[in-house]
């Protein structure tokens, strides 16, 4: 396991919005000279989306997928004062403090299954990952994958772990099948799900999960609800541990869903 600590950078320049939409992610420059795709704490689902992005991205990295480097991005209170767009200025003001950013892959293009066909092993492992994370956002409409230097990269896990938007029945949610897998863009090619389960489950041990969960900043956890940061972090740890242990449930659901489309 790679025990490298996530870096923190200081945002120095707002470059441009990445796309239209409620969350208004943006390309920014940081004090290390690199460009990043910044996800704002003050947008949309707030800190919970950043936590899902952090956990999903770092789990994907540990499992061997290509994921842009994730960094903590510090945004100063004065940063948005010169921004002429009022909506963006409000977003910057609401996001003062610690945000999350991914290294910007300049020149990357959106993955298109009509152009690029992943092999069965890779497709199966990505489906397994998204079932684990309950990631609803890897569909043909929005693949959240990029091709960069002829390699497949995974991005945008902010729509994962949706149990944490209510915290209701999280122990039940941890062991449920992921029915939305039927919409997964790679499901048709994922005919090695049992092998993917065997390989990835062995990598995602309890110490690995513990290490990744410990990376969540306390200030994000303080935004999550009634629990203390320590209690919230423990829920994430237990949810992921239980879900890995019950992976047969979501693997079988994925296999059944695949039978219906091929």
3-class SS shares of the chain: helix, strand, coil, % to 5: 45, 15, 40
Tell me the pLDDT tens digit for each residue of 98-152.
999 999 999 999 999 889 988 999 999 999 999 999 999 999 999 999 999 999 9
- Sorting pLDDT into bands at 50, 70 and 90, what band is 1? very low
pTM for the predicted model, two decimal places: 0.94
- The token duo for 236 is 């994430």
4: Cβ contacts below 8 Å, ≥ 6 apart:
none
CA distance 161 to 240: 9
| Out of 38-47, 76-85, 152-161, 239-248, least confident range | 76-85
Whether the predicted pLDDT of 21 surpasses 70: no
**b/e map 3-38, b = 16+ CB within 10 Å:** eeeeeebebeebeebbeeeebbbbbbbbeeeebbbb
User: What is the pLDDT, as a whole number, of residue 3?
Assistant: 56
Tell me the pLDDT tens digit for each residue of 59-68.
999 999 999 9
User: What is the pLDDT, as a whole number, of residue 23?
Assistant: 64
Tell me the pLDDT tens digit for each residue of 165-218.
888 899 999 999 999 999 999 999 999 999 999 999 999 999 999 999 999 999
- Sorting pLDDT into bands at 50, 70 and 90, what band is 227? confident
- Sorting pLDDT into bands at 50, 70 and 90, what band is 163? very high
Crossing angle of helices 247-259 and 193-203, rounded to 10°: 160
CA distance 196 to 50: 27
pLDDT averaged over the chain? 92
User: What is the pLDDT, as a whole number, of residue 4?
Assistant: 66
DSSP code, position 15: E
């Amino acid at each position: 396991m790679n025990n490298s600590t996530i870096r923190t950078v200081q945002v120095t320049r707002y470059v441009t919005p990445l796309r239209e939409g409620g969350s208004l992610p943006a390309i920014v420059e940081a004090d290390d000279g690199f460009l990043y795709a910044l996800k704002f704490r003050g947008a949309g689902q707030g800190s919970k989306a950043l936590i899902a992005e952090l956990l999903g991205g770092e789990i994907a990295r540990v499992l061997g997928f290509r994921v842009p480097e994730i960094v903590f991005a510090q945004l100063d209170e004065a940063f948005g004062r010169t921004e002429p767009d009022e909506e963006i200025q409000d977003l910057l003001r609401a996001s003062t403090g610690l945000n999350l950013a991914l290294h910007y892959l300049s020149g990357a293009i959106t993955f298109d299954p009509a152009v690029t066909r992943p092999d069965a092993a890779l497709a199966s492992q990505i489906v397994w990952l998204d079932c684990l994370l309950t990631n609803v956002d890897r569909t043909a409409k929005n693949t959240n994958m990029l091709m960069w230097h002829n390699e497949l990269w995974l991005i945008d896990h902010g729509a994962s772990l949706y149990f944490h938007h209510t915290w209701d029945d999280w122990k039940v949610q941890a062991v449920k099948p992921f029915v939305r897998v039927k919409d997964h863009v790679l499901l048709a090619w994922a005919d090695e799900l049992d092998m993917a389960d065997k390989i990835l489950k062995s990598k995602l041990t309890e110490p690995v999960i513990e290490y990744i969960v410990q990376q969540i900043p306390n200030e994000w956890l303080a935004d999550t609800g009634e629990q203390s940061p320590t209690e919230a972090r423990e829920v994430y740890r237990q949810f992921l541990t239980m879900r890995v242990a019950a992976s047969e449930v979501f693997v079988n659901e994925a296999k059944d869903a695949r039978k219906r489309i091929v």
